Every structure is written in structure tokens, then in C-alpha cells.
Structure 1
Amino acid sequence: MKLLFDENLSPRLVDLLQPQFPTSEHVESAGMRGSPDIRIWQYAKDHGLTIVSKDNDFRQLSFLYGPPPKVVWLSVGNAGTEIIARLLCARVDALREFLASPEAGLFVLEIFPEKI
């Protein structure tokens, strides 16, 4: 599973989630810090990446254009990096199902304390 973490998320997520998502990258390491959302969207599409973001704009782009790329939208408020990492790990099976579905374009992850 190749994830692209948006710049509103910590670059540390790439290392924290390496065992579950080994080919992931961060917008910053891809040289796109401060880039418009549509450029990040195109980069993800061109490289077979799934965008992970707290930014509502990517959710809207998903509705507008559909996949690819796919979008994982984190509805987590001000949750810290470790909580986000635990949430993604706790839902890895559901994420795999989402990524395997050709018609699914948006996966919403919310915090449920009993799950993380």
C-alpha cells in the first residue's frame, strides 16, 4: 500500500508506519511542500499513491474527479501523530479492502478510542 501523506500530517508517519505501509512517502520528501492540492492530486495519480490527509479539499477532489487517486480522509481533529499512526494501524485490514476496490475513492477514518 503506497500512501502519500499530506503536509498537514507529520513526516514522521512515514517511519512510524513503515512496517504496514513500506512504500509510503510524504509530500515534503516528494518536493511538493506548499504545492497546490491539484498538483499533489496529479502526483499521487501519476505514481499510484493514495493521499492521506486531514484536508477537506482532497475529500472534495475525490467527489469531483473520483479515483485515481484514492483518498483517506482523517476526521481526527487535532489528534497527534502517534494517535494517527495507531488509527491507521488499527484499520489496516479495512484500508487494504478499500484500496483493493476499484470503484471506491474515499475512505473516512474517524477516532474511536476503543479501536486505537
Structure 2
Amino acid sequence: MRFVVDAQLPPALARFLASLGEEAIHVLDAGLLEADDGEIWSFALENDWVIITKDDDFQFRASVSKLYPKIIWVRIGNCSKQKLLEIFRKHWETIKQELEAGAFLVEVV
């Protein structure tokens, strides 16, 4: 799987996932930092990327769309970059297992 981290989350999350052997980029790396949700959605869908986001607009868009990319919806409040990475470190295997089992939306709470 390939992961694209949305703008509300730090580029460090993409680097962390890459350190685990995942193919992961931040929207900044993809030239999508200023892109609207529709552009990021299309990029993910056309290129088979999983979107990692805090934006509930992606979850809503998926609920009303026939085709949609997989989404990891980060539902934790504001926290430090270190805390965010700790949460992903702790739950990463479970998140991946859910995606591999066919889930199209995985919530991180």
C-alpha cells in the first residue's frame, strides 16, 4: 500500500511510515500542498494511494461516492508531533491489518 498524508498532519508522519518500510509521502512531496480535497481525492484514487487525514470531508465524500480511495481518518485532537507518531507506532499493525482485510475507512482515535 501507498500512503499520502494530508496537509493538516506533519510531513514527519510520512517519514515515520517510510522508516517502517511503507511507501508514504506528504501532500507537500506530491505538489498538492495547496490542492483542494477534490484534487487530493483524485490523486489518491487514480494512483491507488491511501489518504491519511484529519479532515472529515474525506469521510463524508466517501459515504456519497461510488468510487473512493481508502482513508485513514485521524480523529485525535490537537497533539504534539511526538504524540501523534507514538499513536501511529502503537496502532500501525492494526491499521494495516484492517486495510488489508478490505476496510476502506480506518479511524485512529
Question: What is the TM-score when the length of structure 1 is the normalising length?
Answer: 0.83
Partner of 2:108: 109
Partner of 2:91: 91
- Structure 1 regions of 5+ residues with no counterpart? 111-116
- Structure 2 regions of 5+ residues with no counterpart? none
- Check whether the contact 2:99–2:106 (CA below 8 A) recurs between aligned residues: no
Residue 72 of structure 1 aligns to which amino acid in structure 2? Answer: I
Superposed counterparts of 1:7-86, under 5 Å: 7-65=7-65, 68-86=68-86
Q: Percent identity?
A: 25
Question: What is the TM-score when the length of structure 2 is the normalising length?
Answer: 0.88
Shift of 1:22: 2.6
Shift of 1:106: 0.8
CA distance in 1 between counterparts of 2:13 and 2:63 reads: 26
- Secondary structure of the structure 1 residue equivalent to 2:18: coil
- Check whether the contact 1:20–1:92 (CA below 8 A) recurs between aligned residues: no
- Secondary structure of the structure 1 residue equivalent to 2:29: coil
CA distance in 1 between counterparts of 2:2 and 2:86 reads: 17
Residue 26 of structure 1 aligns to which amino acid in structure 2? Answer: H
CA root-mean-square deviation: 1.6
Length, aligned pairs only: 109
CA gap of 1:66–1:87, structure 2 versus 1, over 3 A, is farther
CA distance in 2 between counterparts of 1:105 and 1:10 reads: 22
Residue 84 of structure 1 aligns to which amino acid in structure 2? Answer: L
Runs of 4+ in 1 over 6 A off after TM superposition: none
